[in-house]
Amino acid sequence: MTRTTSRLLITLLPAILLGGCSTLGITPPQNRAAEPVTVKIVGLNDFHGNIEPKTRPTRVIDADGEEQQVYTAGAAYLASAVAHYRDQSEYNLVIAAGDLIGGSPLASSIFLDEPAIGAMNRIGLDFNAVGNHEFDRGWQELLRIQQGGCEQHTLRAPCQVETPYPGAEFKFLAANVITQDGTTLFPAYGIKRFDVDGRDVAVGVIGLTLKDTPSLVTPSGVEGLTFTEEAQAINAVIPQLEQAGADAIVVSIHQGLYTEVGYNDKSCGGVSGPLLDILKQVDRKVDVVISGHTHRAYVCDFKQIDPTRDFLVTSASFGGSMLTDITLTIDPVTGGVISKTADNVIVQSVGTDREGNPAPTNAQFTRWTPNAEIAAYVERYVSASRDASQRPVGKISGAAPKKGGMDETMLGNLIADAQLFATQEAGAQIALMNNSGIRVSLDPAEDGSISYGDIYAVQPFGNTLITKSFTGAQLLALLEQQFDEVGFNQTFSVSRGFGFSYDLSRPVGSRVTSVSLNGSPIDPAATYRVTMNSFLAAGGDAFTVFEQGANAVTGPVDLDGMEAYLASAEVIELPAVGRITAAE
């Protein structure tokens, strides 16, 4: 037999065998009843550049209603957990619901969150809905994060470790972020298609952020963009996905819920929050909603709230502490989802606590083995940031915890005092700090010392300090904005010598009952020099009266001001609370 004849027989053999299938009892693939297809989706949200394991334990409520403490997170551990659930089906995808970047620890943030994107590239993320923190450094910088390159849009230089920065291998989605030419900043949706025995099975993903994003970021960072109503943006995309043949529809939205139950409780107990009204308007064709923003963990079968809407709503805490394991069973013939399940999974890591000791393991949860490739990648950035992170900057007299937005704290007062100190040459008399800009507690070592990395974690945004002149009347109006119905309520942290009282039982616009500086009431006709960060100066957090200030003087970066203040004494005594008084 010649080589040519042999090749011809091999080519013809499948056809001969196929022709005899009925005789052999073998049914051709195209004539078989299509089996249901299992698609695995891993849901993530609010990663915030946590490429390293956390040094503080995550508190969770277990299935028995008991509080557990477990050390979590780190990109290498998250990668192993994600891979475990992806491996359960060859048809899989990974979807994030925003805030992958921004508000990040130093090892990622100091490098403009390039390592957070690099880690997600290696984890295999498919789609990320933009969150509000994606816009912290402006939309031009966000385009660079997607596309790659080293064009500089911020005070920090890009491409310090990887040159050039390669960009995100996954797609950002932004269905409700409209540019001046009427197009979306990023695609409104993406589709992942799977070839299942010659049949196309497709999962459509709609991605978007909360409508109120402009009030949560520096206004210049979203200049020229319009953020539209969430439900309308979702519903407008559904016909496009149907036309494209999507068998399942997933919404990834950076807006969230609050619940009163454990991290994997399915009862939707005590559900509240801004996402609730949006979901009641969402098209009934949606199968799963992956959410974020509130940093809560929940799995809610929404038909328990609205029987006409049969979709799951999930959120996996924040910082890579958890993931959501979602399973969709799809009929490849009818193109419908037969069943859907979801479970939140804790990503327990093997890290260290704040003192550098090995973190204890909680036997109730799986302890994941780190992915070696990603661990090495993270260490490359951590090593590059180590000198800056470990540099001592001063001492404080004790621990300074972070609390809620309406709580006066020693930490907030410390920051305000530091900002007043740093802007004295600009004539500052008062400094006001937004509590939403304080990210974590400030915990010193046993001898009271703190590092640059410690204060960076508290204020990671790189804002500059701005001092402006306001009339007393403007200042009073500004304080009233703390308690109006725009954005969310939060009190300022205020500098020494300044204070105010408020009463939430009074009508909006008259809730501030007294204001004084150095013991004297504020005079509506007088002029006062007030310091704030550049985020607030541009009207951030919906404090629009800040924009009315005159004679602006730009001061140092907020962290430089804090470092100078800490160096002004051997030990800085934490300022007591009592500058703000709430009516009983």
Could you state, in order of their start, the residue ranges of all structural domains in the chain? Answer: 37-383, 392-582
Q: For residues 480-500, b (16+ Cβ closer than 10 Å) or e, as one string?
A: bbbbeeebeebbbbbbeebbb
Averaged pLDDT for residues 244-273:
95
What pLDDT sits at residue 476? 98
> Any bridge partners for residue 297, and if so which?
316
CA distance 139 to 72: 31
Averaged pLDDT for residues 136-148:
96
44-53, 152-161, 328-337: which has the highest mean pLDDT?
A: 44-53
What pLDDT sits at residue 461? 85
CA distance 434 to 444: 22
What pLDDT sits at residue 412? 97
CB-based contact 216:461 (threshold 8 Å): no
Q: Which residue has the higher pLDDT, 217 or 9?
A: 217
CATH fold of 392-582: 5'-nucleotidase;  domain 2 (3.90.780)
Tell me how crowded residue 512 is: count the other CB atoms within 10 A of its CB. 21
- Reported as a pLDDT band with limits 50, 70 and 90, residue 574 is very high
- Reported as a pLDDT band with limits 50, 70 and 90, residue 388 is confident
- Domain 37-383 sits in CATH at 3.60.21.10
CA distance 189 to 249: 10
Q: What share of the chain is helix, strand, coil (3-state, %, to 5)?
A: 30, 25, 45
- Output the CA–CA distances (angstroms, integers) from residue 311 to 110, 280, 305, 330, in the order listed: 39, 11, 11, 14
What is the residue-wise DSSP string for 290-349?
EE-SS--EEEEEGGGT-TT---EEEEE-STTSEEEEEEEEEETTTTEEEEEEEEEEE-B-
- Reported as a pLDDT band with limits 50, 70 and 90, residue 487 is low
- Reported as a pLDDT band with limits 50, 70 and 90, residue 16 is very low
pLDDT digits (tens, 9 = 90+) for 260-318: 899 999 999 999 999 999 999 999 999 999 999 999 999 999 999 999 999 999 999 99
* Pair of tokens at residue 14: 């499948």
What pLDDT sits at residue 19? 38
Across 32-46, 337-351, 370-384, 497-511, least confident range: 32-46
- Reported as a pLDDT band with limits 50, 70 and 90, residue 5 is very low
* Pair of tokens at residue 237: 């995309």
* Pair of tokens at residue 459: 């204020």
CA distance 487 to 472: 24
pLDDT at 353 > cutoff 60: yes
Quote the DSSP letter at residue 45. Answer: -
The answer to whether the predicted template modeling score (pTM) of the entire model surpasses 0.85 is no
What pLDDT sits at residue 450? 96
pLDDT at 12 > cutoff 50: no
Averaged pLDDT for residues 471-481:
97
pLDDT digits (tens, 9 = 90+) for 522-568: 999 999 999 999 899 989 888 999 999 999 988 888 998 999 999 99
pLDDT digits (tens, 9 = 90+) for 146-174: 999 999 998 789 999 999 999 999 999 99
- Reported as a pLDDT band with limits 50, 70 and 90, residue 356 is confident
What pLDDT sits at residue 156? 83
What pLDDT sits at residue 108? 94
Task: Please give the mean pLDDT across all residues of the chain.
Answer: 91
Averaged pLDDT for residues 128-156:
95
- Output the CA–CA distances (angstroms, integers) from residue 149 to 143, 153, 167, 220, 240, in the order listed: 10, 11, 7, 22, 32
How do 492-494 and 464-471 pair as beta strands?
unpaired
What pLDDT sits at residue 304? 94
pLDDT at 7 > cutoff 90: no
What pLDDT sits at residue 31? 41
- Reported as a pLDDT band with limits 50, 70 and 90, residue 77 is very high
SS3 state at 289: strand
Nearest to 316 by CA among 55, 52, 40, 60: 60
pLDDT digits (tens, 9 = 90+) for 81-110: 999 999 999 999 999 999 999 988 889 989
What pLDDT sits at residue 17? 33
CB-based contact 114:195 (threshold 8 Å): no
CA distance 210 to 130: 9
What pLDDT sits at residue 1? 37
- Reported as a pLDDT band with limits 50, 70 and 90, residue 13 is very low
Averaged pLDDT for residues 103-120:
94
SS3 state at 268: coil
